[in-house]
Structure 1
Amino acid sequence: MNVSAIVYTSATGFTAQYATLLHHQTGLPVFRLEDTDQLPRNTPVLYLGWLRAGRITGLKKARAQLAVAGVCAVGMAPAVELEKLRRDNRLEAVPLFYLKGGYAPARVRGMNKLMMAAMEKVLAGKSDPQSRAALDAVRHGADWVSQEQLDPVLDWLEPKE
């Protein structure tokens, strides 16, 4: 795929970690979404954004300024339904990848902190293993960032001939 840069939005650092890993693997320059004024309008980019209530943060702004050629959504869930995520974020023909990131309670602020407090209460009332694991992550934090999760993204960026 012909991508000129990696652009990302990160609230607690996990999406930034993935952007950095991709930079090291590909040599592509990395920009925070706030710093894309350095890029010409409609530059083809791979966009990475974290998930909040099923929405990829910053995607709308990225699409308004740049040619988003592919998207990585970073979240806490073990897996997501990609087609639903695609529909909810209007990514009809854009390649979409899901990367399990992490959660750092000490780095969460404002409305996001309130949303996670509500999520903690919901999870505390559940007893299934997945909910218990999510509750532990919400209370104590977790880091699931791994190079291996980037393999499909790297295959898309650098297709083998």
Structure 2
Amino acid sequence: MDAWTLHWLEASGSLAELRSDLIGEFDAAYKTVSRLIPPPRLDVLIQRLPGETIPEMGLLGRAYRSTIFSMTLDPDNPNLLPSLRTGTLHRQIVHEVHHCLRIAGPGYGWTLGEALVSEGLAGQFVRHLLGKRPRALGERRYPRRSSSFPGRPEDP
């Protein structure tokens, strides 16, 4: 991981018990990105913030600019360990790297439409590199609408 520097923010709590697993996931993501392009030079802020993550994953990524993104983890969330074991963290890292690349070029965007495009492109970057959906949050969570409602066809 020559181009990425991991910064462990510990004021809100240590991640020592997960550090080797996290380094392994960042190393794997670095290798994944390097199969397509030279990985960009990045500083990655890694922090523990209970209750401040996506509940279904126990983690949250955020790109700040072309050279910095953060990965927030909640070890108290029961979904964090499965996210480490199933590749969810790996996918999220690749997703955030794409955001940094996009910020370095045309930018993330200022409108809802531009943000939707950026999120979709990051998801496709993950899919291209890993052959998988970027994250479980893209799955349907609601039952299909019934065709018994007049004028409302069932979702495809």
- Structure with greater helix share of residues: 1
TM-score normalized by the length of structure 2 = 0.31
Which has more radius of gyration?
A: 2
TM-score normalized by the length of structure 1 = 0.30
Higher relative contact order (CA 8 A, sep 6+): 1
